[in-house]
Structure 1
């Protein structure tokens, strides 16, 4: 299985566009719009081309080395909210008591918030439907954390991940229809497409700033608050395995959960080990592990058989070494599945 994670290139535009058309909507970080995708690729190239920390977006792709086809993608944002506000709804509760009635009332509320500004973000993960086996989704997801570990100074101490919320069969969002849609005069699909291409400043311009009592929302909207799209449940479990938790924030468009973790506590970041390759020849023994090597534009990640030695060095199977382009004496980072 010769699949390799590598930085995106300008000629990845068409395969990214083809994958974007398969997302089914609500996938802001992978819009089915060629100019928007081209702008992402250009922004990613700029990020991979400098050592200076900024408002960076790194776009990685999964490539089948046998066919040369791009079959998946994921993204990492170094710092959200630097150029325009990053909005979320913060979930809270207001408790009030009436002595005359002898009753206590607890009202769930949603408050527009920019609390998550300054965090790093992982997102934009999409794997072609024909490749959803063999651990490729996990390879895509965890390659982001290996990249963060190898470029730690470029990222914040907190990482978030926004999961797509519930979308109905018609491509609409019950949460959007019950709340924001009433203020914007546009469908969820229109708003989502506009946000993907132009950013979310229009939210700041038009979204009501006062808290929203969820009891005033239709039942269809209340029922999806903080719930991921059915296709995102596996992604949510992977995030939870890495140590992410859904605390009190949801997406302002579709009500999907925002997951949070401390960067250095993310499982892959914490458990990965650095090593020097002692040999890349011989028998194909060792454990199947995720291996990353290179920095920035030369970053690569893939599965390989890694044998750990008593002197701290490792061996890598010939096929894995060839896939990653590593040789004896090279430095790698590796982590178990």
Structure 2
């Protein structure tokens, strides 16, 4: 395999724009807007260039590149601390229990409450793989390489990390959840609101959204049925998140009702099980399948490979991975079992 993950550059703008047009909507972190994507890349380049070891409001954009051709075929993002530029809103599912002595009856009502509980967390998101490359585990490489990046720059990420999964989008490109909840107050279609959020942020939610809890029983059937349900294309991503230790804790997206998965950063499987070792050989023919990574910030690179670990803290890797990572004996490589 000749694919590797690397830090995005300004020259990747057109490739990202072409992929953004394929997302089908509801993909806030990858809007089909050149100006917005250009701003993202500029912000990411500033984050990669900021050589400090402190938690701040930073954005890191990574791209999946075919090393043979230089073609960019996928992307993902990491946000080090959400809710710093504008509030980070979620709906939280909770239950209100009430009892009537006269009727001798207990009634439990499910509510959606607008909260900023997750403010200050880190976030992994913006993962998109070109439809022609959805084979061979490249989605896994995109997803899990982000956690190696976190492990390699641990002090720049919060103690809690989240991932928002896209919710159900109907055949018209609309959202049953939006139509049943927020859309009633804004006079905007889901597509218009989602696009506006991607370009301008969600401060308009704070300005216009009612702050009172929403009783789920008062929503229509279409809206109720999609609360906390991922888009069909996101089910595999949800399973991967669960394998990493993420859990749904009752938070859902305010636009499409998709689930927000949450984990303690140090408990994420690929963070917890990763290790930094010195390359001792680059001629492994058969070894444990792994994800390998090297570099720092803007020189970050990751790929699939084979490894053999020794008791002295060394790692032997295959020659193809060594070429993709541009490492030699004596260099340091992070790895985690695939």
The runs of 5 or more residues in structure 1 that have no matched partner are none
The runs of 5 or more residues in structure 2 that have no matched partner are none
| Equivalent of 1:275 in 264, 274, 277 | 277
In 1, Cα distance between the equivalents of 2:287 and 2:167? 40
In structure 2, what is the equivalent of residue 334 of structure 1? 335
CA shift for structure 1 position 283: 4.9
In 2, Cα distance between the equivalents of 1:234 and 1:130? 17
Superimposed CA distance per residue, residues 95-150 of structure 1 (whole angstroms, 9 cap, x where no aligned partner): 01111112110000011000100000000000011111111101000011000000
In 2, Cα distance between the equivalents of 1:309 and 1:216? 61
In 1, Cα distance between the equivalents of 2:225 and 2:264? 29
In structure 2, what is the equivalent of residue 211 of structure 1? 213
Indicate if the aligned counterparts of 2:284 and 2:317 stay in contact, CA closer than 8 A: no
CA shift for structure 1 position 309: 2.2
* Structure 1 residue matching 2:206: 3-state secondary structure: helix
In structure 1, what is the equivalent of residue 70 of structure 2? 68
In structure 2, what is the equivalent of residue 109 of structure 1? 111
In 2, Cα distance between the equivalents of 1:283 and 1:96? 65
In 2, Cα distance between the equivalents of 1:84 and 1:314? 43
In 1, Cα distance between the equivalents of 2:181 and 2:226? 12
In 1, Cα distance between the equivalents of 2:85 and 2:318? 45
In structure 2, what is the equivalent of residue 293 of structure 1? 294
* Structure 2 residue matching 1:134: 3-state secondary structure: coil
In 2, Cα distance between the equivalents of 1:92 and 1:309? 50
In structure 2, what is the equivalent of residue 315 of structure 1? 316
Root-mean-square deviation (Å): 0.8
Structure 1 residues 46-61: aligned runs within 5 Å: 46-52=46-52, 53-61=55-63
CA shift for structure 1 position 317: 1.3
| Equivalent of 1:259 in 258, 261, 264 | 261
Indicate if the aligned counterparts of 1:286 and 1:308 stay in contact, CA closer than 8 A: no
In structure 1, what is the equivalent of residue 25 of structure 2? 25
TM score, norm. by length of structure 2: 0.98
In structure 2, what is the equivalent of residue 165 of structure 1? 167
Over 4 Å off, 4+ runs: none
